[in-house]
């Protein structure tokens, strides 16, 4: 009883508890030669009766993009370049209810949660993104599965009867998931106020042959290029020779 009371007190106290009560399965995602994406199960012990937000957020990056528009009033093509700054490479969000029902836009933005925070964070040419540009950028990232916003997907363990319950969200990472360290956060919202309960890193790394190829491609580009050409020449000429043997006398 005392232990449960202490747990609830600890959970109610911000700031975030690094890892306590939060488990990631797996904590490191390995991208080998047959990696086709992965599921990450995020499990957290949280106070009952609070609304929750689970999120996986990647590193911030500057994106060089082309904007499409009409040329000569007729043809759709790239009509200009633009740069979007401070955009997370990956942003997957899962909440117990729709984010709009959790708190005001200001509170969400203040907690760095959801679309309001994202909108506030991104910039182009030193200015905030227009609504139209923000929508277009979201569409682009969502089409790759790198941004996702789901509600009503937080599972609560039915066996827990106390004040603290075990909750769970399954995130699917696409094969295109950016490599490196990402941040997993669990936030609780109560009466329009939010606080971070847990925070933990999630690492995605290439392993085995995939890692070796990437390292050589980046660190020894010239040798890698020459090697790639030699392999292509050998395969091409060998196939030509073998097919030639098969058709000997035909010409």
Partner 1 sequence: MSFSVYLPVAGCALNIFLLLGLGGLVGFLSGLFGVGGGFLLTPLLIMIGVPPTVAAASDSNQIVAASASGTYAHARAGSVDFKMGLLLLLGGIAGGSVGVVFIKMLRALGAADFAIKITYIIMLGGVGSYMFFESLGNLRGTRAVAAGGDKSRPSVYARLVEALPWKIHFQRSRVTLSVLMPLLLGVLVGILAAIMGVGGGFIMVPVMVYLLRMPMHVVVGTSLFQILFTCINVTVLQAAVNHTVDLVLALLLLAGSVIGAQLGAKVSRRLKADQLKILMAIIVLVVMVKMLVGLLLAPDIMLAYKGGH
Q: In the complex with partner 1, which residue's Cβ is closer, 37 or 162? A: 37
Alpha carbons 146 and 33: distance in angstroms, whole number: 21
- Is 73 a binder of partner 1 (CB under 8 A)? no
Closest CA to 46 of 202, 194, 201: 194
* CA 77 from centroid of its chain's CA atoms: 29
Q: Is 61 in the site for partner 1 (CB under 8 A)?
A: no
Site residues (CB under 8 A) for partner 1, limited to 112-151: 133, 136-137, 139-140, 143-144
Interface with partner 1 includes 66 (CB under 8 A)? yes
Which listed residue (2, 15, 76, 159) binds partner 1 by CB under 8 A? 76
Cβ closer to partner 1: 3 or 74? Answer: 74
- Residue identified by tokens 């690492």 is 203
Which residue's CB is nearer to partner 1, number 132 or number 159? 132
Binding mask 154-183 toward partner 1 (x if CB under 8 A, else -) reads ---------------------xx-xx----
**Does residue 237 touch partner 1 according to CB under 8 A?**
yes
Per CB under 8 A, does 79 bind partner 1? yes
Task: Tell how strand 127-128 and strand 75-88 pair up.
Answer: unpaired
Which of 4, 66 has the CB closer to partner 1? 66
R_g over Cα of the chain: 24
Among 18, 48, 69, 160, binds partner 1 (CB under 8 A): 69
Between 24 and 53, how does the x/- string for binding to partner 1 read (CB under 8 A)? Answer: -------xxxxxxx----------------
* Interface with partner 1 (CB under 8 A): 31-37, 63-69, 71, 74-81, 133, 136-137, 139-140, 143-144, 175-176, 178-179, 206, 209-211, 213-214, 217-218, 221-222, 224-226, 228-229, 231-233, 235-237, 239-241, 243-244, 247, 251
């Amino acid at each position: 009883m005392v232990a449960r009371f202490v747990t609830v007190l600890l959970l109610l106290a911000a700031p975030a508890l690094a890892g306590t009560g939060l488990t990631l399965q797996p904590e490191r995602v390995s991208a080998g030669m047959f990696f086709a994406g992965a599921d990450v199960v995020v499990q957290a012990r949280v106070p009952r009766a609070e609304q929750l937000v689970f999120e996986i957020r990647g590193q911030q990056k500057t994106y060089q993009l082309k904007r499409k528009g009409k040329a000569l009033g007729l043809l759709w093509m790239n009509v200009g370049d633009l740069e979007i700054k401070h955009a997370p490479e990956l942003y997957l969000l899962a909440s117990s209810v729709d984010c709009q029902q959790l708190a005001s836009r200001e509170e969400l933005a203040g907690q760095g949660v959801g679309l309001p925070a994202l909108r506030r964070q991104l910039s182009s040419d030193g200015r905030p993104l227009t609504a139209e540009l923000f929508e277009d950028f979201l569409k682009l990232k969502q089409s790759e599965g790198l941004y996702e916003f789901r509600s009503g997907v937080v599972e609560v363990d039915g066996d827990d009867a106390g004040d603290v319950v075990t909750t769970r969200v399954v995130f699917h990472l696409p094969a295109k998931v950016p490599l490196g360290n990402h941040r997993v956060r669990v936030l609780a919202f109560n009466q329009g106020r939010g606080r971070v309960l847990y925070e933990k890193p999630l690492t995605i790394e290439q392993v085995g042959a995939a890692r070796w190829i990437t390292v050589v491609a980046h660190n020894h580009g010239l040798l890698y290029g020459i090697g790639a050409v030699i392999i292509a020449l050998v395969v091409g000429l060998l196939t030509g020779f073998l097919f030639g043997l098969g058709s000997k006398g035909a010409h």
